[in-house]
């Protein structure tokens, strides 16, 4: 398991389709200024070279703000830019293989939508779990659904950080936080908003408010 | 540069779309039995897990026949299955980064369609060049065209092995061999044929005949 101290509370996962003509690097920078604590670069359907160049640019930004950068799926890109970690889904490299190739010092997160997947990932040395989709989402049409009750059961059954993902926004964030999870992953709740800085700030605000109450 | 001794003469590049319902592993095995000396696994639009599992199966076959297995584009897959090498195009990882991550003992091939690309790849430590497309091809619609004259100039300008690629078949193989290249890469000339074993044998035969004459 990685020895890096990570704040999983507000975890931005990228999706360039939501940005229209806006620049990904600038959008990530605004999100970080608004309070995002971790960034995952997710790119499908681009060439390896394009992914690499994008990842290099994003790393300059995240490094400047000392925010960890996680690469989705592509261990080659994670290695090539010396990213802080890799996030793998159930269709990506197996956890044990990813650890073998990335080493102990990198963060590895695993997507889990069942308790069995969560327990296996923890046992195999995952650093955190991405659990969802807790609400229906336009980003990943194929994501299995996980109820808030199941999310809470998973959170109580593992010792590694649990990050909820899938359709989380300012309206339902409170319900998700009530399950006791360590953080939330958001895509559209930040990147689809016209004012990215403000969107991240608002989520951060709601989070501070409800975390104080719990 | 890799220290592995490689026979580049008949280099099979895979394309599952050509196989219809036929199994990729079995098709590769027949091609090897027919005389293929090197195999490159090229997969686009599959999940990382699917590519990995396919690569593991293919490696069992190539290892059995002691034929090197090269992975197209995906260094993560090459590392995960400990493949013999990686083939990179101009849209893939840069040569220097690929060597840094793969090490000196692995084969790295680079696609080149100009003399400048060929010379740069050699200077950066490529083990061989894939030069083409020498004839129009249905496999890669976007491939730049390289005339047989340009192919010959490239071959004479570098010291590393040159493999010609793009639309090569039993009808035009003789012309390609006349340029003095070290091998030919074929896709459809083997995999699109009903009798894969026989198709590979015929190419091998033509190659033996013309190589003896030159």
The CATH number of whichever domain residue A117 belongs to comes to 3.20.20.70
Interaxial angle between packed helices B196-213 and B24-34, expressed in degrees from 0 to 180 and rounded to the nearest 10: 30
DSSP class of residue B9 equals S
Cβ contact B93–A80 (<8 Å): yes
Give yes or no: B140 in active site: yes
What residue numbers bound the domain in which A144 lies? 10-213
Q: Look up tokens 């336009």; give the residue.
A: A138
How far apart CA A161 and CA A89 sit, in angstroms, is 16
pLDDT tens, position by position, for chain B (214 residues)? Answer: 455 589 999 999 999 999 999 999 999 999 999 999 999 999 988 999 999 999 999 999 999 999 999 999 999 999 999 999 999 999 999 999 999 999 999 999 999 999 999 999 999 999 999 999 999 876 666 556 899 999 999 999 999 999 999 999 999 999 999 999 999 999 999 999 999 999 999 999 999 998 776 5
Quick one: pLDDT at residue B210?
84
Quick one: pLDDT at residue B203?
97
Residue A109 β-bridge partners: A87, A128
Structural domain contains residue A2? no
Cβ contact A49–B91 (<8 Å): yes
Structural domain contains residue A94? yes
Cβ contact A47–B91 (<8 Å): yes
Cβ contact B93–A101 (<8 Å): no
Enumerate chain B positions whose Cβ falls within 8 A of a Cβ in A: 47-50, 52, 73-76, 79-80, 90-94, 97, 101
Residues of chain A predicted below pLDDT 50? 1
Quick one: pLDDT at residue B200?
98
Give the residue numbers of A marked as catalytic: 42, 111, 140
Give yes or no: B156 in active site: no
Quick one: pLDDT at residue B79?
98
Structural domain contains residue B3? no
Residue A183 β-bridge partners: A163
- Taking alpha carbons only, the member of A71, A91, A93, A74 closest to residue A143 is A91
Quick one: pLDDT at residue B212?
72
CA distance B203 to chain A (A): 33
Active-site residue among B74, B99, B106, B140? B140
Residues A122-151 pLDDT 10s = 999 999 999 999 998 766 665 568 999 999
Cβ contact A74–B79 (<8 Å): no
Q: What is the ipTM of this complex?
A: 0.92
Q: Label residues B185-198 b or e (16+ Cβ within 10 Å = b).
A: bbbbbbbbbeebbe
Structural domain contains residue A114? yes
DSSP string, A128-172: EEEEE-SS--SS-TTPPP--HHHHHHHHHH-SS-EEEESS--TTT
Enumerate chain A positions whose Cβ falls within 8 A of a Cβ in B: 47-50, 52, 73-76, 79-80, 90-94, 97, 101
Q: Label residues A119-145 b or e (16+ Cβ within 10 Å = b).
A: eebbeebbbbbbbbbbbebebbeebee
Domains contained in chain B, number? 1
Structural domain contains residue A3? no
Q: Which residues of A touch B94 (CB under 8 A)?
A: 49, 52
Closest-approach residue (CA) in chain A for B97: A80
Structural domain contains residue A1? no
Structural domain contains residue B141? yes
CB B155 within 8 A of CB B183: no
Q: Which of A46, A48, A77 to mutate to test the interface with B (most CBs of B within 10 A)?
A: A48
How far apart CA B22 and CA A157 sit, in angstroms, is 45
Active-site residue among B2, B9, B27, B111? B111
Q: Which residues of A touch B74 (CB under 8 A)?
A: 48, 76
Quick one: pLDDT at residue B126?
98
List the beta strands (DSSP E) in A65-147.
69-72, 85-88, 107-112, 128-132
Active-site residue among B2, B9, B27, B42? B42
Cβ contact A76–B80 (<8 Å): no
Quick one: pLDDT at residue B205?
96
Structural domain contains residue B174? yes
């Amino acid at each position: 398991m990685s020895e890096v101290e990570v704040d999983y509370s507000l975890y931005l996962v990228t999706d360039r389709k939501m940005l229209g003509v806006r620049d990904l690097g600038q959008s990530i920078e605004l999100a970080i200024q608004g309070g995002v604590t971790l960034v995952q670069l997710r790119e499908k359907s681009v060439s390896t070279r394009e992914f690499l160049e994008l990842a290099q640019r994003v790393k300059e930004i995240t490094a400047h703000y000392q925010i960890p950068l996680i690469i989705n799926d592509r261990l080659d890109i994670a290695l090539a830019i010396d990213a802080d970690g890799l996030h793998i889904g159930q269709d990506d490299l197996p956890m044990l293989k990813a650890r073998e190739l990335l080493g102990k010092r990198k963060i590895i997160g695993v997507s889990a939508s069942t308790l069995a997947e969560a327990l296996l990932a923890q046992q195999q040395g995952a650093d955190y779990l991405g659990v969802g989709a807790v609400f229906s989402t336009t980003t990943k049409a194929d994501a299995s659904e996980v109820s808030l009750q199941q999310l809470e059961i998973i959170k109580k059954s593992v010792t590694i950080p649990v990050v909820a993902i899938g359709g989380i926004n300012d309206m339902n964030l409170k319900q998700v936080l009530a399950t006791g999870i360590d953080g939330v992953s958001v895509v559209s709740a930040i990147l689809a908003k016209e004012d990215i800085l403000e969107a991240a700030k608002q989520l951060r605000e709601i989070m501070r408010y409800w975390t104080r109450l719990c």
